[in-house]
Each structure stands twice: as C-alpha cells, then as structure tokens.
Amino acid sequence: MKAGVIAVQGDVAEHAEAVRRAATAHGESAEVVEVRDSGIVPDCDVLLMPGGESTTISRLIHREGIAPEIREHVAAGKPVLATCAGLIVLSRDAKDDRVDALGLVDVSVDRNAFGRQKDSFEAKVPIEGLSEPFHAVFIRAPLIDDVGEGVETLATVDDRPVAVRDGPVLATSFHPELTEDSRVHDLAFFPESEVEA
Ligand code: GLN
C-alpha cells in the first residue's frame, strides 16, 4: 500500500511511523511517501493529513497544487486520516480567512477552541469500533461545533465530537500519531478489522 503523508508542514514522521505500524499489524507493508509537490497524490492509496499549523498547511497545499489532488483522492473514495490541523484544512468551514478549507469533511470547526483554558490535555476516549478506550493527546485542538448530516461521530469528549467519519475520511481533533497505539490509523485504513493495541 502506498501511503502519502502531506508533508508541507507538521508532524510528518510520526504519521509515517504510525501507518507503517498499522500496515505491519495487517500483514501488509506501507511504502510511505512525503508529499510536498503535486503529482504524487494520484499514485497514493491512502493519505495522511498531519497536525501542525493549519494556516500554513492550507497556504502551501494550494500554492503547490496539491489541494485539487486531495479532492480527487476523496472523490475516488480512497481513505484519508486527518488529525488536528489536518481536520481544520479538510473541514467545510474553519472560520478563518487564512484557511481555504477543502470541504471534504462536513463539519465546521473553531480553531484552537477545545480546552481553551488549557492549551493541551490528554484523555482516555472511547471510540466507536475500538473495544478499549484510546489515549488521546489534544494540542491546541479544534472544536468541532457543527456536524453535517452524513457525518458519523465516532468519539466525543464532554459531549463534543472529537473523531468523525465522512465517507472515506476519518478526522480527529486529537493526535493519534503521537502515541504508540496505531488503532486509529487501523480504523482509517483497515476499517474491516480491529487489531489489539
Ligand atoms: N490549532 C492548530 C491550527 O489551527 C492545530 C494544532 C495542531 O495541529 N496540534 O493549525
């Protein structure tokens, strides 16, 4: 399986490791490519949109012509895992002129709004499709404040959605790539089978 990590900015190496681990657990190997230019995404089977700084990621994927290729990838029904800033970039509306959101996940988000009193926090979060809770790391996390009809909420914290699925895209406001546990990567790319943590 060829996995493209959008690598214009953000925590790229962690996603590369996590998708390799998830593939290995399923008896597959992942060839991971870092995407900084157009022309690479069309050859990828799955995509990862890392956390980082959504204004920067948005600006660069549009400038480099990667944005329309991500749209085509999703239109073809191919899987994407988007985390934190990645979720913001793929959302319908990020309420920030500096983010030209792609509208591939039908949610609106409020950047940096989750847990405003504390920049970062961690929580054990039950996730639909996983038998055991997931240790979720939140860093200046976006608050999902509106969820469209076709969107499935997979996890909540304080009644707020923190993991959603919209067609082939699984998006989280936390950072599953920052722990050793690759079950969220499993859910995104191997939705049929759960592998033990
Ligand atoms: N709040 C950041 C943004 O708006 C995202 C933070 C993150 O990815 N950890 O880009």
State the complex-level ipTM.
0.95
Catalytic residue, chosen from 175, 180, 185, 194, is: 175
pTM above 0.90, yes or no: yes
Residue 35 pairs with which residues in a beta bridge? Answer: 6
Each residue's pLDDT tens digit, 154-175: 999 999 999 999 999 999 999 9
Catalytic residue, chosen from 17, 177, 180, 185, is: 177
Q: DSSP letter for 100, please.
A: -
Structure tokens at 132: 């055991």
H/E stretch holding 57 reads helix 54-63
Which ligand 1 atom lies nearest to the CA of residue 96?
Answer: 4
Each residue's pLDDT tens digit, 54-68: 999 999 999 999 999
Query: Could you say which architecture CATH assigns to the domain 2-189?
Result: 3-Layer(aba) Sandwich (3.40)
**C-alpha angle 72/140/172, rounded to 5°?**
40
Ligand 1 centroid–CA 177 distance in Å is 14
In the chain, what are the domain boundaries? Answer: 2-189
